[in-house]
A and B are shown apart, each in its own frame.
Chain A
Amino acid sequence: MREYNIVITGVGGQGVLTAANVLGWAALRAGYKVRIGEVHGMSQRFGSVISYVRFGEDVYGSMVPEGKADVMLSFEPVEALRYINYLKEGGVVVVNTKPIVPVQVSMGMAKYPSLEEIRKVFEEDFKAKWIGFNAEELAEQAGHVVTTNTVLIGALTQIPEFPLDAEHVREVIKLSVPPKAVEMNMKAFDLGIKAAKEILGL
């Protein structure tokens, strides 16, 4: 495989960088060359964030070019839409449908689009496959809302032609979370897999 490109989007503080790191290590352990692009500092504080994960035999820069992401993993619906131009035609988006409303919206300075509107842009204008579900709810079922990114990564491993083995990704998560949180994260991972399978009809 020459290259596989993932963009991860969300709100600063949701664990976007952690998710990128998990996928990066899984790819490294699978023998691929890996690049992860991140943004740190002030831009991270509850603002809109995007990270890039690229792996394969032939990867160079740390940023995925626009129109070239195979998949998007998004922690928040509007933050999925904000970076839709990175997705390739026919790409897949795995998205947590629980919104985080920006202060500007609460103040009445801007409007938050409906989930249907967002989904329509993905499916109709960008011909993307939409895998959307409330991952936060599933994370709470698993034991704690902090496992939301594990739920989403679980779902990600189920998309057609995803090049990393779900069990390998699971191993990396096991190694990267604190020992007492392993069980909870495994449960979250399984719930993510289940959610994606249902949506994909697998």
Chain B
Amino acid sequence: MAKVSDIVLWDKPGERVLLLGNQAIARGALEANIAVYAAYPGTPSSELTDTMAVVSKKAGVYMEYSTNEKVAFETALAAAWSGLRAMTAMKHVGLNVAADTFLSAVGMGVEGGFVIMVADDPSMWSSQNEQDTRIYAKFANVPVLEPSDPQEAKEMTKYAFELSEKFKHFVILRTTTRTSHARGDVVLGELPEEIKQGKRKFGKFKKDPNRFVDVPANARKFHPVILEKIEKIREELNNCPFNWIEGDENAKVGIIAPGLSYAYVKEALAWLGVDDVKILKLGTPFPVPYGLLEKFFQGLEMVLIVEELEPVVEEQVKTWAYDRGFTIPIHGKDLVPRVYEMTTRRAVTAIAKFLGLETPINFEELDAKYEKVKPLLPPRPPSLCPACPHRNSFYAIKKATRARAIYPSDIGCYTLGLLPPLQTVDTTVAMGASIGIAHGLSIAQNGSLSEEQRNPEKQVIVATIGDSTFYHTGLPALANAIYNRSNVLIVVLDNLVTAMTGDQPNPSTGQTPHGMGKRIPIEDVAKAMGADFVAVVDPYDIKTTYETIKKALEVEGVSVVVSRQVCALYKVGQMRRRGMKWPIYQVNEEKCTGCRVCINAYGCPAIYWDEEKRQARVEPTMCWGCGGCAQVCPFGAFEPVKEGSQ
């Protein structure tokens, strides 16, 4: 099939293509003539940014991978202040990072359309919590648009820019994992001339200190303006093309279905064979347009709101209905779970209960049957890849600390160091938090080096953090730890790429989508900040890594060891594309004593246990040739036996 980068830029209006929700949003932004795009990757939003990265040059759009969500937000916002159409994207927890700017700047409004794409992750497939961005939208009094399929995601993106420009207000485009990571058929629309020609657009910033300087005297004027705007937008949304009433006009029962829940409701009703209901399809869960509610409620005797996560729509509808004097029953979170993601099963179960029907499948029976299967299933959590340099770093850290340290860690692939056999991750909270937590632990357990009273029974603390995370929010925490005379070892797991979200570049990579940026070596930063010990190691050399960590642990103060080796998944991908080969390790049966160190202490997924021979074995299709096994085996049983290209 054609490459996605080509499809997203195709000048073929009317063509029907298969696109990921995130790619459809990128196309929508192009059709809206976007000028500036800035974001930090975060699952499930990342593919939008990656798509913009590969099309931006041709489309004349300025695009950057920013170092965190707050600075990405500010980059795009300033462009919107300069009259350009601008967009930023992040995952739900990313909005927390950008929240400071978001909540303060909303009163200033924008000149060019400004769209904030936020991807929520109900059920937390790749996240640390399942916060509902619609609550943020309500908190900030910013309208939120929520698509129900990839086609609508594209159309809504265009509409979001128009709405933002019309009201000079921020607009949030909210997706969930199941819209961002759903592929569906999308009909391409027209691309503007400037995008087709790849013409870079420049804006003009008109100085207005009364608007853009958020001193209290100005801020006081903003809040009432925001409230006025949101009520006007609520009016406008009565005519929003993504809100409509459908189904049986004379029905006595009504279902309100915001965003993606609309898809589940439609499917559930078809499955139940029910058609005598009225549906209010809501593309704008906040603010809910009252005019449309008024129409929808006519003739209804009961209403069900099927929404994912928090009762955002439910609370608005119930408040409105009370004020209007409606006394019919309005159901919502009493029938639809408030945690984890919406599914057709959940929708069908809630609607069946609401209407007093049987579900089309006896789910309890199915569950009971599946309960009997569960004991047969070995767990298979995600794991660090074969040849992952982080495995070696963790192995060396654990050995050097004799497994007795506290190990605060951070957000990235390396969080998987939590699992056996490595078990070198004791805390993970939020981006950059490993260094802050390590410092706090050091103060709580040992005291500060600058204090007179310190705890003589020193507790060793070893924090781990990735390169991208280090630049995201690790920097201020490192400055804080050094300034306050902490006593910690920070191992920066520098694999030169933002691996977990799909190999995006960062300051440690140096490369940007447009060519070379300026690489910032982590060790230079640590030295400049005044760390007490700084070293760089190659984790593929386990012995030196171990010895360097041992040395670092003896130093009082903040030690920074940069453990640098390129991400194995990234490297193998590149090698495969170039047709390159790498050594594959095998177990020499003469030498393997069956001691299990490679399995019980090192834990490479390519190594398994041969139950019959009581020896370790390497699965050749999974070996990526790092040779770590050969270094940890006390008997030299692992040998590179052939060149492979698996």
Contact = CB atoms under 8 A, between A and B. Distances in A.
Contacts of B126: 39-43
A31 B264 CA distance: 23
A103 B605 contact: yes
A1 interface: no
Which of B18, B43, B363 counts the most A-chain CB atoms under 10 A from its CB? B18
B416 interface: yes
Contacts of A61: 178, 260, 263-264, 267, 343-344
Contacts of A175: 1
Given A45-B383, A106-B608, A117-B376, A24 B125 contact: no
A109 B185 CA distance: 44
Given A38-B183, A60-B267, A67-B366, A172 B378 contact: no
B382 A63 contact: no
Interface string B390-415: 00000000000000000000000101
B616 to A, nearest CB: 8
Interface stretch (B68-76, B367-375, B546-554): B367-375
Contacts of A108: 609
A123 B511 CA distance: 53
B47 interface: yes
Contact of A63 (B344, B376, B420): B344
B373 A81 contact: yes
Given A42-B413, A103-B603, A66 B363 contact: yes
B416 A102 contact: no
B619 interface: yes
B646 A103 contact: no
Contacts of A102: 378-380, 605
Nearest to B604: A103
Tell me the dominant secondary structure on chain A's binding face: mixed
A58 B270 contact: yes
A122 to B, nearest CB: 10
B633 interface: no
A46 B605 contact: yes
Contact of A40 (B46, B385, B646): B46
B646 A145 contact: yes
Nearest to B42: A41
Contacts of A59: 267
B274 interface: no
B237 interface: no
Interface string B317-344: 0000000000000000000000000011
Nearest to A175: B1
B52 to A, nearest CB: 17
Nearest to A98: B621
A84 interface: yes
Contacts of A42: 43, 126, 382, 413, 415-416, 500
A139 to B, nearest CB: 10
B75 to A, nearest CB: 24
Nearest to B412: A42
A56 to B, nearest CB: 11
Contacts of B149: 35, 60
A96 to B, nearest CB: 12
B378 A111 contact: yes
B53 to A, nearest CB: 16
12 contacts: A34-B18, A39-B177, A40-B126, A41-B46, A46-B383, A61-B264, A65-B271, A101-B608, A103-B383, A103-B603, A103-B605, A176-B1
Given A24-B18, A42-B126, A146-B646, 17 more contacts: A28-B16, A34-B183, A36-B18, A36-B182, A40-B502, A41-B500, A60-B263, A60-B266, A61-B264, A62-B178, A63-B343, A78-B378, A78-B380, A85-B369, A102-B605, A118-B376, A145-B621
Interface of A: 11-13, 20-21, 24-25, 28, 33-48, 58-63, 65-68, 78-79, 81-82, 84-85, 100-113, 117-118, 121, 125-126, 136, 145-146, 172, 175-176
